[in-house]
A and B are shown apart, each in its own frame.
Chain A
Amino acid sequence: MSFLPYALVGWICVVGLYGIVTSKHLIHLGLCLSVTQSSTYVLLLSVGYVEGGGPPIFKGIKLGTTAVDPVVQSLVLTDIVVSVTVVALILALALNVHKETGSADPDEIAELSG
C-alpha cells in the first residue's frame, strides 16, 4: 500500500494537465493549473511522512516524540502562496482577455489573434 500516495500524486498531476490541454475556458484553465500544482503538496507531505509520527508541534508533547518532517510542511506553505499568486494573476489576465476579445475560450482567442 505504500505506493498509493505517490500514485495519487501522479494522477492529480496528469489529470490537471489533461484539464489544461482540453480547457475551453480560461478560468477553468487556471483552476486546472492549480490542480496540477496541488499534486506537489501531496508529494511533499508524503515524502516527509513518518509512520506513526504526530505533527511537529511540541506544545505539551515531550521533545523527541516521533513527528513528521517539518521542512516539507513549510515548503508546502510556500507552494500554496505561490499557487495563490499564480491563480490571481491568471484570473486578472483572463478578465482582460475577455474584455479585449469578448471570449474566454483559448481556442477562439488563438484564432482571433491569428
Chain B
Amino acid sequence: MSRRVRIGIFLAAAASFGALLIWGFIGLTDFGHYKGPYGYVLNRVALPERHMTNVVTSAVFDYRGFDTMGEEFILFASVVGVVLLLRSEGREDDEMEDDTGSDTVRVFGTLMVGGSLLVALWLIAFGFVTPGGGFQGGVALAGGAALLFLAAGYGPFKVLGNETALDPIEGIGAGGYVVVGLAGLVSGAAFLQNVLGPGVPGTLWSGGSAALVNWCAGAEVAAANLILFSQFLEEYLVPLAGKQQS
C-alpha cells in the first residue's frame, strides 16, 4: 500500500473517529462538575476507614489492591519479555570505558544521584501519607541510577544496575505483594485485607498491609526499570565498545 493511499484511508477513518469522539464527549459531564459517586465516597471514607491520608495511594494499594497486583505482574511480564528479546550470546561486559569528559559533571552529577535516591526513598516511604507511592518512588529510584550512568559512566551504573542483585529484588517485590495478600487469607480475612491494624493517620505507622504492599511495589518497579535500563544500555554500548577496540 502506498503512503498516499494509507494517509487517505487514515484521514477518512480519523474523521469518523473524531465524530465518534465528539459524540462521546457530549455525553460527559462538564469539565469541573464531576458527578461521582466513587470519588466523593472514597475522599470521605478512606481516612476514617484505612487511616491513610493519601487517598490515591489507599485506592491503589487497598481498595483496588487486587487490581494493582495484576498491574505489577504486567510490568514483571514485560521485563521478562524484554530480557528474552534482547538476550544475545557471548556478550562481554566490564570492558567498557567510562567516557564522561568533564570532572564537574561527574562530581555534581554523582552528588545529585545521592539526593535523587533519597527523594525516591522518601516518595515510597511516605507514599500513603503525602504525595508519592511505590510506583512513583520506584521510578524515581531507577531514575537516580540512570543519572549515575549519565554523570559517571557505565561502570559505576553497573554497580546499581547489577542483574544478579536486581532479579531477586524484582522477584521479592512481585512475590511479596502476593504474600501480603495471602497473609490476609491465612488470618481468616479476605485477600489483601489489612491484618496489621490501621495505625495512626498521618504517620509512617499507618495503612497496615497497604504500607507493606507499597514497599513491595516500590522494589518491583525500581528493579524492573533498572533491568530495562541496563538491558537497553548494554544493547547500545556493547557494539560501541567493540568498535573502539578494533
Interface, chain A (partner B; CB < 8 A): 1-6, 9-10, 13-14, 17-18, 21-22, 46-51, 55-60, 63-64, 67-74, 77-78, 80-82, 84-86, 88-89, 91-93, 95-96, 107
Contacts and interface: CB of A to CB of B under 8 A. Distances in A.
Interface stretch (B30-38, B95-103, B107-115, B186-194): B30-38
Nearest to B41: A71
B178 to A, nearest CB: 17
Interface string B160-201: 000000000000000000000000000000000000000000
Interface residues of B, number: 60
Interface stretch (B60-68, B150-158, B208-216): B60-68
B130 interface: yes
A100 B77 CA distance: 24
Given A56-B43, A57-B130, A85-B78, A46 B31 contact: yes
A46 B44 CA distance: 21
B159 interface: no
Contacts of A55: 131
B10 A70 contact: no
Contacts, number: 153
A92 B32 contact: no
B242 interface: no
A4 B246 CA distance: 57
A25 to B, nearest CB: 14
A77 B123 CA distance: 15
Task: Name B's interface SS.
Answer: helix
A73 B56 contact: yes
B47 interface: yes
A69 to B, nearest CB: 3
A57 B135 CA distance: 17
B131 A81 contact: no
A92 B82 CA distance: 6
Nearest to B136: A77
B14 interface: yes
A93 B86 CA distance: 8
B222 interface: no
8 contacts: A22-B7, A59-B129, A69-B36, A74-B60, A77-B60, A81-B74, A88-B82, A92-B82
Nearest to B135: A77
List 10 A-B pairs, minimum CB-CB distance, nearest first: A69-B39, A85-B78, A51-B32, A59-B53, A56-B55, A92-B85, A70-B55, A2-B31, A74-B59, A6-B25
B130 A89 contact: no
